[in-house]
Structures are given as C-alpha cells and as structure tokens.
Structure 1
Amino acid sequence: MEESIVRVEHLSHRYSVQWAVRDVSFEIPRRGIYGLLGSNGAGKSTVMNIMCGVLKQTEGDVIIADINTKQDTIAAKRHIGFLPQKPPLYGDLTVEEYLTHAADLRWVAPREVKKAVDEVLERCAISHFRKRLLKNLSGGYQQRVGIAQAIVHKPDLVVFDEPTNGLDPNQIVEIRHLIKSIAEERTVILSTHILPEVQATCDHILMMDHGKLVFVGTVDEFDNYIVPNTIFVHLANAPSTDVLARIEGVCGIEELGGQQFRIRFTDAQEVIERIVDQSIENHWRLLEIRQEKNSLDTIFAKLTEKGQ
C-alpha cells in the first residue's frame, strides 16, 4: 500500500458540551487533491485545525508523515502548509518581506530563505509584486500570497480552507490551476462547502456531516453514488406526453419545454432502445437522448440524509 502522509484515527473534539467532530477516521496517501466537503458547521474546519496543530483534539490521534501530533507537534508542523479561510497577512509588509518572515517561521535555513522566497514568488506568479505592500493587493493576489506562504518551506502536505472564497470567476480559475500544479509535487487537502469546486479541482472526496464522515471515495464514485434514474430526450416532432408515458418501462415524464423531456425509468437501456425504435417508427425525429447524471447537489442531499 502507498505510504500515507496523513492518518486520522478515531478523532473527536468537543467545544464545551457539544461534539463538533465524533469518531472520524481516514487515511490519505501522498500526492493528489483531496476535497474535505461539507456544509457550514459540518466539522471540517475543526478537523483541519486539529490536523494543522492549531487546535488540540479531545480524543483520537493525527499522524502526519509518521509523526503523532500529540507527541511532537513542532516536528509534525514541518511537513504541513496551511492557508486558513482568511489569509494571515500583515498589510504593512511588502510581499517579499512577508514571505521572508513566513520562511523564517517555517524553519527554512537562513542561507536558503532568499531562494525559497524567489521560488514561491515565481510559482504563484507574484514576482512583479514583490515590493508591493500587501494591503494594496487585490483579493486574488492576496490569496496567491497566502498560498505562497503555505508552500514556502516545501511541505509534504498543504491544507487550504475555502481558497476561492470571495474571488471573481477569473480569479477562481487561476487559483484552481495553481492548486493543481502544487498537487503535482505534494498532497493537497481542500476544504469547501461548494460542490462544483470539488468537481473542478479534486481527485478524491471526504464528506462530513454533523461531525461525522459520511463518504470517502473518488469524485466519480461520489458522482455515481446515487444511481441516476432519468433520461433526457429531445424530439423535433414530439408526440403528446401521454404517448411517451405508455412506453414500457417509463415511470414518469417531466416536460422541459422546446419538445424536451425528462423521463424516469425502470431500466435505462431498455427504455432508451424503445424510445429510439418508436421515434424511428413514428417519425418523431430524435435529436438527442442521454442518461442523466445526478447533480452533485442531489448526491450531497442524499448522502446527508444517510449520515443522519
């Protein structure tokens, strides 16, 4: 089995009397992008803060690169880069000054600091802003600086909390590309409550709900977890819905307008074949037919129900 960068074993955490996380266990190998998915309040930020040494858990263990964070938090932190939801920036420092400070905090050897800073400036495409005060940068470039500080010490594991929150569409695409390039060399954990963000960026999903882990698997496994039960049909010369409803295996029909229909079925392949055959026989002029996938929102809702 591939060596793991993270092992979380029976992790629980309680704020006052309320459990925010309860008996969560998972393992993450090296390389790839892992989405920690869940609605606000699901417990994902608590898990991330414990993993990154910001918070001490009530119960359980977190092992980073074979180091138990309870036994040697500082040694474990050497392997971690962390970008909180709000980048920890000092507005009155220049980009270069701030990243130099971040490198010092991350135990980068003094003789290697300048090289490390130059590398992340280039990697995050912010070299031209190295002398710019942080407070004078746009939100997108502040986020790039936040990512740069998280990788300046070349950690094995990088954890991002809602990294595209508050950015415009162009900035979101740029940050996604940057995160994917970072993941070519190390493991990335991306926490978000935005389902399309996971679909666009991640290889694997860990989904939390009410402090518990309710799904672990690939994005494709997540997408196909709830078997789809609808077919999209577009006809140029459509019959009435009553005629379509009489086709064997059809359970229900939803008119979408423009002679387009969503058809629920008992067996997809048989119903598709019957629609195609009857379209040819009755000159319905079939323009498109396809089995629909569940939206991530639908799957999320179903998994949440199962986790309760």
Structure 2
Amino acid sequence: MDTPIVEVKHLSHRYSVEWAIRDISFSIEKTGIMGLLGSNGAGKSTTMNIICGVLNQTEGDVAINGIDLRKNPVEAKKHIGFLPQKPPLHPDLTVDEYLVHCATLRRMESRSIRAAVERAKERCAIGHFSKRLIKNLSGGYQQRVGIAQAIVHSPQFVVMDEPTNGLDPNQIVEIRTLIKEIARDHSVLISTHILSEVQATCRDIRMIEHGRMVFSGSMDDFNNYVVPNTLTAVFAEPPAAEELARIEQVLRVDELSQGRFRIRFSGDETITERLVASSVENGWRLREITPERCSLDVIFAKLSGKLENDSDLRP
C-alpha cells in the first residue's frame, strides 16, 4: 500500500494551560478530498495550522509524504499548498505579478516559474485576467486566484480553510467543481464548520469537537451513522395526535398545522411502514412523509457525548 501523503499521530497542542486538541490521529491518501469538520472553536484551525507547519505542536508527530514536519520543515512544506480562510492576496498586483511572487516564495527555480504560473491560471480558469489588478476581480475570481497560489508549485497536498465562505450560490458551485477537479491528482483537505459543504465535496470526513476526534470514516459511513429521528407527515383526513402517538416506536407527536404533524420516533425507519398501514386502515389519507435528519449542532453534541440520549445515532 502506498504511503499516505499525510500522517498525523497522537497530535496535541496546548495554549498556556488549555489544551486546544488532544490525541488527534489520522492519515490522508494521495488523492481525493477529506473534510475536517467541527464547530467554531473545536480545534480545526489548530490542527490545520500544525499540519501546514504554521504552528509547532506540543505533542505528537506529523509527516508530509514521509517527511517529519518538525525535523525537516522546509522539505516537508514543498509538498503543501495552503488557502487560508481569507486568501493572502495583494490587491494592487496583477494576477500574473502575484502568482510569480508566490512561486518565488515557494523557492521554485526561476526558469520553471512562468510555466507553473500558466498551468495554475489554466487550472483555475483565470488566464483571461492575467493583467487585471486583483482588487478589480469579483469575490469568486479572487478566490480562484487564492486557489491558484496554493497549487502554483504543484504540491501533492492542498489545504483549504472554508474555501466557499462569503461566495454567492453560483460561485460556490464553481469553486466546488474546481476543488473536485484539483483532487483528481492532488490530496485536498477542506476545513469547515458547514456539514453541507463536506457532504457536497468530500469522500472522507474527520470530525473534531472539544479538541478530540469524535468521528473518522467515509462520507457514506457518516451518512449511514446519522439517521433520521423525526419525520413530518401530512394527512387529508388527519387523526388526533393521540392516535398517532399510540403507533409503535412513536415517542412524541406535535401538530404543526391542520393535517401536518412532526413525529419523533425511536428505532429504525420502519416507522414509515407502520404509518402507511395505520393510515390505510383508518382512512387518514396520508399524503406526504418527509424524514428529518439531526441538525449539525445535535450531531456534534451527541458525538462528543454531551447528550445522554443516543436514540438519534446508530451505536
């Protein structure tokens, strides 16, 4: 099996007396997109900054392409591209001037810089803005320039912090498509607190809460792990809420409007079969059933053990 591009082992970091992260371990393969998910203050930025060599960890080890990041940071960082949440742009430079500057900072050989800049511009579809001042570009194209600087030196590993933050819906779709294209031959790590962002782009997910890893697996594993615990049902001839509450596995029934109910249940999703059968038997004329998944806040709380009732998550 190939060596992972990133190996993180028992990573911990302390600011003053408070531990920001504790005993974080994971690896990242050489292609594809991994999501680093967590609520604000969970420890994502600390983890990401350590992996990028911005911060020295208190404990643990990080290897980039087999190179110990602490022992040989210059060599390890050659394999890393980084897009911070706010792209480090120089607004008074043109796109070409800025990317040449970034390539120079990456210690690329002078004879290789021009070709590298052209490749990055083509990859990010910004070649027609080569001579445009960065401050005159839209937010979406400024984000593309930020991505171009992260890949100009052809790193094997690219880290992006909230890459679609502040973009409009069309720009979000375009940036997601670009990230997926980059991930065909690079490894990409996306740090975000937005679950839908991870679900839309990532193959694997690592979830951090209160500085500890609370979930590690594929996106399919995560979607199978988080199951619906409530549903809404609409009836043309609605029963009383008390009648619905007598159905097996129903825990609570709230009437939202005439004929529309929110039903909280335990167990698996065979509750829908019982609802349909009861509706047919009693002439309730069921029109619609819509499962509702847990909110992200509830998922974080349950995975980090803050809620005692685990009925919404599979064991």
The corresponding residue for 2:156 is: 156
Deviations 1:109-129 (A, max 9, x none): 333222211111121111111
The corresponding residue for 1:243 is: 243
Alignment partner of 1:194 is 2:232: no
How do 1:172-211 residues align onto structure 2 when only pairs under 5 Å count? 172-211=172-211
The corresponding residue for 1:141 is: 141
Deviations 1:4-63 (A, max 9, x none): 111111112222332222221111112111111112222211111111111222221100
Residue type of the partner of 1:19? W
* Distance in 2, Cα, partners of 1:302 & 1:207: 12
Residue type of the partner of 2:189? I
- Paired residue secondary structure (1:305): coil
Deviations 1:133-176 (A, max 9, x none): 12222222211111000001111100011112222222222211
Contact 2:14 2:21 in 1 (8 A): yes
* Distance in 2, Cα, partners of 1:269 & 1:48: 38
The corresponding residue for 2:215 is: 215
Contact 2:3 2:66 in 1 (8 A): no
Contact 1:44 1:191 in 2 (8 A): yes
* Distance in 2, Cα, partners of 1:248 & 1:17: 51
* Distance in 2, Cα, partners of 1:21 & 1:265: 35
- Paired residue secondary structure (2:113): helix
* Distance in 1, Cα, partners of 2:2 & 2:261: 47
Contact 1:231 1:268 in 2 (8 A): no
- Paired residue secondary structure (2:197): helix
Contact 1:225 1:299 in 2 (8 A): no
TM-score (ref. length: structure 1): 0.91
* Distance in 2, Cα, partners of 1:209 & 1:167: 26
The corresponding residue for 2:59 is: 59
* Distance in 1, Cα, partners of 2:80 & 2:46: 16
Alignment partner of 1:276 is 2:281: no
> In the TM superposition, what is the alpha-carbon distance from 1:256 to its structure 2 partner?
2.8
CA gap of 1:26–1:286, structure 2 versus 1, over 3 A, is: same
The corresponding residue for 2:313 is: none
Residue type of the partner of 2:234? H
- Paired residue secondary structure (2:304): helix
How do 1:242-261 residues align onto structure 2 when only pairs under 5 Å count? 242-261=242-261
The corresponding residue for 1:17 is: 17
* Distance in 2, Cα, partners of 1:263 & 1:73: 55
The corresponding residue for 2:312 is: none
* Distance in 1, Cα, partners of 2:203 & 2:47: 20
Residue type of the partner of 1:63? A
- Paired residue secondary structure (1:277): helix
> In the TM superposition, what is the alpha-carbon distance from 1:305 to its structure 2 partner?
3.5
* Distance in 2, Cα, partners of 1:180 & 1:9: 27
TM-score (ref. length: structure 2): 0.90
Contact 1:5 1:29 in 2 (8 A): yes
> In the TM superposition, what is the alpha-carbon distance from 1:246 to its structure 2 partner?
2.5
> In the TM superposition, what is the alpha-carbon distance from 1:210 to its structure 2 partner?
2.2
> In the TM superposition, what is the alpha-carbon distance from 1:270 to its structure 2 partner?
5.0
Contact 2:31 2:183 in 1 (8 A): yes
* Distance in 2, Cα, partners of 1:307 & 1:289: 27
* Distance in 2, Cα, partners of 1:58 & 1:129: 43
Corresponding residue pairs, total? 308
The corresponding residue for 1:126 is: 126
- In structure 2, stretches of 5+ residues that fail to align are 309-315
The corresponding residue for 1:230 is: 230
For structure 1, which segment, 100-109 or 34-43, has the greater mean C-alpha deviation from structure 2 after superposition?
Answer: 100-109
For structure 1, which segment, 288-297 or 6-15, has the greater mean C-alpha deviation from structure 2 after superposition?
Answer: 288-297
* Distance in 2, Cα, partners of 1:261 & 1:65: 54
- In structure 1, stretches of 5+ residues that fail to align are none
> In the TM superposition, what is the alpha-carbon distance from 1:238 to its structure 2 partner?
1.6
For structure 1, which segment, 17-26 or 182-191, has the greater mean C-alpha deviation from structure 2 after superposition?
Answer: 17-26
- Aligned-residue CA RMSD in angstroms? 2.2
Contact 1:214 1:307 in 2 (8 A): no
Contact 1:224 1:293 in 2 (8 A): no
Alignment partner of 1:86 is 2:70: no
Residue type of the partner of 1:240? A
| Matched-pair identity in % | 62
The corresponding residue for 1:100 is: 100
Alignment partner of 1:71 is 2:100: no
> In the TM superposition, what is the alpha-carbon distance from 1:291 to its structure 2 partner?
4.3
* Distance in 1, Cα, partners of 2:63 & 2:193: 25
> In the TM superposition, what is the alpha-carbon distance from 1:64 to its structure 2 partner?
0.5
Residue type of the partner of 2:134? L
